[in-house]
Amino acid sequence: MTRVFATLAMLVLCTPGYAGQGRLLATGGASQVEGSAGGGTVPWAVLAGYGSRGQFGATAFFTRIDTNDYALKAWGAAAGLSNRVELSAARQRLDIGKLGLPFDALRQDIVGIKVRAFGDLVYGRAPQIAIGAQYKRVDDFTLPSAVAAERRSDVDFYLSAARLFLAVAARRNLLVNTTLRYSRANQGGLLGFGGDLEGSRSLLFEGSLAVLFNPRWALGVEYRQKPDNLSFAGEDDWKNAFVAWFPNKNASLVASWVDLGSIANRNNQQGLYLSLQLGY
């Protein structure tokens, strides 16, 4: 996994200037917490970077979420090829020291692929449609197993549709993305996959809505439905409201207020989300 991170990061840092400059500012989205291009918690149908046909784009990111009882750190990189295929890798660490358990953190690796099937974010009649998969593996299965999780690793599958509507919301651009995820991940996979209540994958809805006040600033909301597989603790859907700044095609900064609900019987897990993305 370390080699994957290093390879993708080198692609970001060493790609020459001509790569990934073909698409409009902000149409590559930000880096989603699992490494795919998208919003904070939801993968979008867009691909990483700004490369269009015959071009290459790449990004690297770091994200931190602080709630009442937890801190999640995520970092990784993604590469977009010819605005057709995206490859991504991410590493997550959830600090759980406040729970008084003999574990300081839960860690997870995620490797993703996304393919733009058809359509375009801005032009033509059809929205941009992408299909994706995220392979996830928990480092230490001791705690997930203790709460009745069934699997240490698994794959999430998803289908996303996105469209940028020009000058429709008070003459501002409006981005709409919907995602259907097929998953049995507990807390995104950090608590393993499947459980004593449900071992099969569930079809889950995720959505994002963002208003672009100008090419560099966006304000939006996201919603992510979660499965409920473990009798140990109920799992709430995720919600967030965000502001994103795209000063140029080489950087973006996202700040968000997130509501993650109840995590491991700790209620009202709300807090600040910050994510920095660099790329071409």
- Can you give the pLDDT at residue 13? 44
Supply the pTM of this predicted model: 0.90
Q: What is the pLDDT of residue 3?
A: 55
d(CA 91, CA 147): 22
Would you state the pLDDT for residue 171? 86
The one-digit pLDDT tens for each residue of the chain (280 residues) are: 555 445 544 444 444 433 445 678 888 899 999 999 999 999 999 999 888 888 888 999 999 999 989 999 999 999 999 999 999 999 999 998 777 777 889 999 999 999 999 999 999 999 999 999 999 999 999 999 999 999 999 999 999 999 999 988 788 999 999 999 999 999 999 999 999 999 999 999 999 999 999 889 999 999 999 999 999 989 999 999 999 999 999 999 999 999 999 988 889 999 999 999 999 7
246-249 long-range CB contacts below 8 Å, 24 or more apart?
Answer: 246/25, 246/26, 246/215, 246/216, 246/217, 246/218, 247/216, 248/25, 249/20, 249/21, 249/25, 249/28, 249/50, 249/279, 249/280
Give the residue from 218, 234, 214, 216 showing the smallest Cα distance to 226: 234
CATH level 3 topology of 2-279: Porin (2.40.160)
Domain ranges of the chain: 2-279
Contact 210, 39 (CB under 8 A): yes
- Cβ-based neighbour number of residue 182 at 10 Å: 15
Residue keyed to tokens 């429709």: 168
What is the predicted pLDDT for the residue at 161?
98
Return the C-alpha torsion angle 14, 17, 18, 22, nearest 10: 100
